[in-house]
Amino acid sequence: MKIEAVDHVEFHVGDAQQSAFYLCTAFGFRVCGQAGPETGRVDSRSLLLRQGGVDVVLTSALTPDHPAAGYVSRHGDGVANIAFRVPDAAKAFETAVARGATPVEEPVVHSQCGTEVVTASVLGFGDVAHRFVQRTGDPAEFLPGTMDMIADDPEESEQLLHTVDHAAICLPAGELRPTVAFYEKVFGFGQIFEEFIEVGEQAMDSKVVQSSSGKVTFTLIEPVTDRRPGQIDTFLARHGGAGVQHLALLTDDIVSAVPALEARGVTFLDTPGSYYDELGGRLKRPDLRLEDLRRTNVLVDQDHWGQVFQIFTQSMHVRKTFFWEVIDRHGARTFGSGNIKALYEAVAREKAMA
């Protein structure tokens, strides 16, 4: 199965307009499309947000039987669909179902004024589905005939973030390996990285799977049950099962992007000073200046191909589950090893000295 890229990510939320206001104000997204009663859709409202190559759809239910109503009741606001761009949506759907995926939506053709989009959906993990999207014609049209596009000039706004780098997914204990096998069998993903992380009495197991195109990457994480409960257990309990813990968005200049996002209202996690004091002991000289990393709280790691710089936002979710990551890759194809452990240990040391 050929999966070309992440086409868009759809959130089910309690209030699409309120969520859009936050993402536009804080992260610099722009509202580029809308669907609802004014466009003939009576059971839900959706807003399309764009920045660079990132398309985010926010959907809220207007009737109690719409899927977004049940999702929000179970999980709160969260990722409900990670859509895959494919050359043939009907064929991708048929192949996925034949390989064991649960069908969610049969192929549907959306067409208007020479633009055609074919969509179909299957279930992924938990309550998260994958929509296959096949596009021909005007690429600016999102779903012709079902969503009204809004005139937009991307050059008028800051372009701080440009691509979905990966999604991090928390799974209940025992589901990691079956989920990896599912993505390998159904979608043709391959495993590119794995890491077992131990921090004090807590531990988690993770594997990274990626599409053959290299454009869709999932970090899959499960807790280790014979250790003290940690952040993955907390997510699963608060979210109500498997779900997307965070989305990572790519930037080309993280040292500039972080203060720009902070000025817009984004709050990032602090990194203890001891993390930077001990950085030289675990990796070669960073590509970016150490003082800039310390000033912006950016983390750094490396793999065989290069370095990766990343920072996480504080969760603004009412359940303190979902958050965002900003990431900048300098050649790195994976995530390095030990960055999470090093950060946790640095935090623990500073707490002990306080």
Domain ranges within the chain, ordered by starting residue: 5-156, 163-353
In the sheet where 299-302 sits, what is the strand order? 190-199, 202-210, 217-223, 163-170, 243-250, 323-330, 307-312, 299-302
Q: What is the pLDDT of residue 175?
A: 98
pLDDT at 112 (0 to 100): 82
Query: What per-residue confidence (pLDDT) applies to 294?
Result: 94
- Integer Cα distance of 107 and 266 in angstroms: 38
pLDDT tens sequence across 309-343: 999 999 999 999 999 999 999 999 888 766 667 65
Predicted confidence band at 303 (pLDDT cuts at 50, 70, 90)? Answer: confident
Tokens 């599912």 sit at which residue? 182
**Is 166 a known ligand-binding residue?**
yes
DSSP-assigned beta bridge partners for residue 7: none
Tens digit of each residue's pLDDT (9 = 90 or more) over 25-41: 999 999 999 999 988 89
**Is the separation of the CB atoms in 293 and 275 below 8 Å?**
no
What is the secondary structure of 173-238 as a DSSP string?
Answer: TT-HHHHHHHHHHHH--EEEEEEEEEETTEEEEEEEEE-TTS--EEEEEEE-TTS---HHHHHHHH
Beta bridge partners of residue 241, listed in sequence order: none
Q: Which residue has the higher pLDDT, 271 or 95?
A: 95
State the number of CA atoms in the 13 A half-sphere of 64 facing the CB: 0
Instruction: Look up residue 119 and give its two tokens.
Output: 């969509």
**pLDDT value, residue 338:** 67
Confidence class for position 349, pLDDT limits 50, 70, 90: low
CATH class of 163-353: alpha beta
Answer whether residue 345 shows pLDDT above 70.
no
The answer to whether 325 is annotated as binding is yes
- For residue 203, the model assigns a pLDDT of 86
Q: Pick from 218, 288, 237: which is nearest to 258 by CA?
A: 288
Give the pLDDT confidence of 138-166 residue by residue, as tens digits: 777 888 878 888 877 666 667 899 999 99
Across the range 119-131, mean pLDDT stands at 98
Model confidence over 171-183: pLDDT tens digits? 999 999 999 999 9
The CATH number for 5-156, chosen from 3.30.1370.60, 3.30.300.20, 3.10.180.10, 1.20.1740.10, is 3.10.180.10
330 annotated ligand binder: no
Q: Do the domains 5-156 and 163-353 sit in the same CATH topology, yes or no?
A: yes
Q: How far is CA 158 from CA 217, 253, 257, 295, 309, in A?
A: 26, 13, 10, 22, 21
Encoding tokens for residue 71?
A: 């999702």
pLDDT tens-digit profile of 212-249?
Answer: 999 999 999 999 988 888 889 999 999 999 999 999 99
Contact 333, 305 (CB under 8 A): yes
